[in-house]
Structure 1
Amino acid sequence: MPPAFAPPEERRLLGIGLALASYLMFTGIDSSAKWLGLAGIPAVQVVFLRYVLHLGITAGINLPAMGTSLFRTASLKVQVLRAAMLLGATTCNFVAVRYLPLTVTGAIAFTMPLFICALSVPMLGETVGWRRWVAIAVGFVGVLIIVRPGTEAFHPAALLCLAAAVFSAFYFLLTRRMAARDSAATQQFYVGICATVVLAPLALPGWTWPSDPATWVAFFTVGLFGFIGHQLSTVALGYAPASVLAPFSYVQILFMAASSWLVFGQPPDIWLYLGAPIVIASGLYIWLRERKLAKPVTPVAEVR
């Protein structure tokens, strides 16, 4: 909980700083996953690592304090479905980063608010006006500019990025439904345990170990970054409201560009410079409309 004696402005600045740190951690997840993929580690094993390490840290920290209450949930069915959505998003994203620059996967990930806005109609019964429908359509024009379907530059892995954004949108909507019913620790626990149980039979046979020091580092950080990122994001919301933090999530595209260029030697191309601002502008417009209408603000880059 934020200290009561801190001025509101100071608390918000701390919240923004923690949120930016969480976006750096999320970039670390994708960077570690890409490094492991290029090193020949099977994709299912990379996804398993992300969740089994996350589960170990979550259980190790929360079990001593919470005991069996960590396992109690208001709806096991929703928690399992929520975990399945995040697992689908992570799997699609981790496969996509093997073939696409981080700048491309990151830019397409910013379509998540567009999908959330569209899916909130059938799932939550919300009303979406024509302005936001236009913003959704314009956002997907930006995606078309980035991936350029029908050209030699198009890679099918871009479709996995869009699938990851859809899974992420479902995950967020289910999280919104459970936010007031289960603790953050319980929700993180079920995400980790469900994915670990599902993936263990697929990942453990024929296990591949890293063969160099850098890959060993990525081997452990893919899960560590995930846990730290989600924890920082949760704490940040204790110091500043989501309406304040949401626009700063787009800073992650800068982190992704830096990692793509400096670590993997893949600088952004001209099409990303043209398409990404359109996607980001669409997401920001939806954020402004939802803020004006006093609706829950959509986070952008928290799902990994």
Structure 2
Amino acid sequence: MRYDGPSPDRRTRAMVTTGGLVVAAVLAAGVALLPRSVPLADASTPTRSPVGTSPTAHAPAAGPVPSPTPSRIPVAPPAPDDLPVVTYRPAPDGFPADPDPLDTAPLTQGLRPLRRITAHTAPGGRPLAFLTPQISGYDLVVPITARRAGWVAVLLPSANRRIAWVPPGGWHTVALPDQLVVERRTHRLTWLRHGRPVRSWSVSLGMPGQVTPLGRTFVLARTPPAEATFGGVDVLALGAVPEDPAALPARLRGAHIGIHSWYHDRELGRDTTNGCVRLTPSAQQRLVDALPHGTGVVVVDRLPASR
């Protein structure tokens, strides 16, 4: 189902705090390593935790890669060795816009890199960056949005409403049974499994000037909360970044958007966060326990009444 609301056309990105992950809602960002606890945009005081061991990947088992007809597969141009790697830092410029950013159809398969693979502008198009098996120590799974001539389009991490095209080889597919749909006007988050609603909760969203970005994104990682204000429940860091990083407090510039709980529930149904999606600790725990890396998330203004 496609949502017929206003289509966002602005791409914004966030800077990354050196040495750790930060989330305008969630994850902190390092290039290779990342703290097990991370400061979030709604945090009362910035804190850092020492680097620890990488958590167990929260992703489903890999599946076989489809085998398209070789003669119809566009050849991937050679990639220079000095191409940038997609990390928690803002993704490189030049990737195409998501053609259906407000489409609420579930994205049921994800791509999991097995080695360093190239990300292109189109099937057979120019390579702009590498995708690697992990970002900051967390296993990477990106939702597949389209298939064409043996190539697949995926949602680009660390960017808003951007896709990348990936040639065959060097990755597996994984099943993505779940989806989260966030409605900004009604302040509702709905969890679906296999396209059927499981639960729906009232949420707090981004305040004016620091709005929760519209469009399709995904669960990038699960990380422990940085401090007690997050209600003691792990945070789900998303692939999306704040629309206007300059509008954030200085210590939060470098953040990703995330989903997390809070130490009180008095602001549910209001626009009070720095762009995050905030819900009750019990609801957050259910999502943390159920959702694998790569789970699709789509933020719309409001769903059609027929849904």
TM-score, scaled to structure 2: 0.28
TM-score, scaled to structure 1: 0.28
**Greater strand share, structure number:** 2
Structure number with larger C-alpha Rg: 1
Q: For CA contacts below 8 A with separation 6 or more, give which structure has more relative contact order.
A: 1
**Greater helix share, structure number:** 1
